[in-house]
């Protein structure tokens, strides 16, 4: 069984990090720009067959925006993680753990964008509920621009239990909520830290909120009361990065 990975960045990361899974690379016919040439050269260096197709043929392969490049690959199982891997990953980290928890984000575009921000911020893993939440799909891979291949994404059966396990390892959990008393610039986001972002619209679930050590918010100066979850994730993660680099 095979799956498709598309988009220039996602395909490039796949070719660099998991080229053994790639069976064929499809490139839009008569595309001669430098980005496409780079991908073709990279695929050929790894003895991967490159096939040219018309734009319409690529459109038929996937209904998403493919940017003229599609990689057909074996089902990507090697990069899947299970909750049992959480202790292994934590044990392998030689610095203070930095974790992102997504409490029920359902939009694959938001998940992909969150993964991209997590990768850029140096997050060690992204944890999410197994049920009623988005999982890794071709759309997520495309939006994540390769981050779905680089950041461990771990679906868990019981998020509250997982949060307690993190706390037992001296990892503080900061939940984001509009009614929080302190904002992200006042809070201490150094040390072992897991940041919880709530679902689109409803935010964190009650039990998730109750299991947080403290709550934080992004100060809003305009008329809009909240940010898109992927934007809020980027803002919050990089405030933590700023503090942790001091």
Find, among 16, 15, 5, 8, the residue nearest to 35 by Cα: 8
DSSP 31: -
Find, among 131, 98, 102, 85, the residue nearest to 208 by Cα: 102
User: Residue 218, annotated ligand binder?
Assistant: yes
What CA–CA distance (Å, rounded) separates 195 from 121?
Answer: 12
Whole-Å CA distances, 2 to 47, 73, 115, 236: 18, 5, 23, 36
What CA–CA distance (Å, rounded) separates 201 from 130?
Answer: 19
User: Residue 93, annotated ligand binder?
Assistant: no
- Total residue length of the chain: 246
What CA–CA distance (Å, rounded) separates 171 from 20?
Answer: 36
Whole-Å CA distances, 131 to 40, 158, 159, 196, 230: 38, 9, 10, 17, 20
Query: Which residues neighbour 57 within 8 Å (Cβ) at sequence distance 6 or greater?
Result: none
User: Residue 193, annotated ligand binder?
Assistant: no
Q: How many CB atoms lie within 10 A of CB 233?
A: 27
Q: Is 156 exposed, middle or buried (0-12, 13-18, 19+ CB in 10 A)?
A: buried
Binding residues are 198, 218, 227
Binding residues for S-adenosyl-L-methionine are 198, 218, 227
């Amino acid at each position: 069984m095979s799956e498709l990975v598309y988009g220039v960045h996602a395909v490039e990361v796949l070719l660099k990090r998991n080229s053994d899974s790639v069976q064929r690379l499809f490139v839009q016919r008569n595309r001669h720009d430098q980005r496409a040439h780079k991908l073709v050269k990279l695929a050929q260096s790894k003895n991967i067959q490159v096939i040219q197709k018309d734009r319409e043929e690529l459109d038929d392969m996937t209904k998403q925006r493919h940017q003229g490049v599609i990689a057909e690959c074996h089902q990507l199982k090697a990069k899947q993680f299970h909750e049992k891997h959480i202790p292994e990953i934590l044990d392998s980290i030689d610095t203070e753990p930095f974790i992102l928890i997504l409490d029920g984000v359902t939009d694959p575009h938001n998940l992909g964008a969150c993964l991209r921000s997590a990768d850029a911020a140096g997050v060690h893993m992204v944890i999410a509920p197994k049920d009623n939440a988005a999982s890794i799909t071709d759309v997520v891979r495309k939006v994540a621009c390769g981050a779905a291949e680089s950041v461990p994404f771990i679906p868990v059966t019981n998020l509250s239990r997982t949060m307690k396990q993190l706390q037992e390892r001296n990892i503080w959990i900061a939940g984001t909520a509009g009614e929080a008393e302190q904002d992200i610039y006042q809070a201490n986001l150094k040390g072992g830290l897991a940041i919880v972002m709530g679902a689109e619209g409803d935010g964190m679930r009650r039990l998730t909120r109750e299991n947080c050590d403290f709550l934080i918010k992004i100060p809003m100066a305009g008329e809009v009361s909240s940010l898109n979850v992927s934007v809020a994730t980027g803002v919050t993660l990089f405030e933590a990065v700023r503090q942790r680099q001091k």
